[in-house]
Amino acid sequence: MSIPAQLSESDKANIISLPYRVGLWVSRSDSAGGADADAQELSTLANIIDGFAGEVFGSELVQHIMSATLARRGEWADWAEDPGDIPKDCRAAAEALAAHVEPREVAAYVARLMEIGEAVALAFREREEPDSLPQKITAYSAYGLLKLKARLKKRSCKSFDQFLNISTAERKALEKLAAAMGTAYI
């Protein structure tokens, strides 16, 4: 399944560019790791897009979109200069797709964008292991709350190590993305 022909050119461009722009936006949400973190996260982003472009796992439409994103790699620098309002663009992309494709295809696209954002966040640990008692209490309390939310929604939960790999700023960015697309981030 290809991108619906009924979509406007601007909707198509938005849908195709979002896999890269989402990863970039999550990466830029936390500058704590500096240039090393940015380089590692952008390398991870390129590898993720490359991997997803060759994978039809669950959605032919998403595979086609990822292939189109990869084919436009020459435009990534332009997308990086002006990434736009990512949550707003994600909402618009999901709505545009929903008007022309099955709900499961929209869900697959949304899930893939969230996977990209999370994988980029996991690529570099900006957050340090908590060492003082107050830091440990805060970290374990936040993780306990996350596990409770996951259990209530009957979803799996990240390990504590994965939880620590995602900084607070990256977690907020992922939650904002999820809310914009009508899903939850756990």
User: Which pLDDT tens digit goes with each residue over 50-80?
Assistant: 888 877 667 889 999 999 999 999 999 999 9
User: Which pLDDT tens digit goes with each residue over 7-29?
Assistant: 999 999 999 999 999 999 998 88
Q: What is the C-alpha to C-alpha distance for residues 35 and 33, in angstroms, rounded to an integer?
A: 7
CA dihedral of 94, 100, 104, 105, whole degrees rounded to 10: -70
Q: What is the C-alpha to C-alpha distance for residues 97 and 100, in angstroms, rounded to an integer?
A: 5
Q: What is the C-alpha to C-alpha distance for residues 164 and 157, in angstroms, rounded to an integer?
A: 13
What is the phi-psi region of residue 4: left when phi exceeds 0, alpha when psi lies from -120 to 50, beta otherwise?
Answer: beta
- Cβ contact 94:7 at 8 Å: no
What tokens does 35 get?
A: 């240039």
Can you tell me which residue has the tokens 């979002």? 18
Which pTM does this prediction carry? 0.83
Label residue 136 by pLDDT band (50, 70, 90): confident
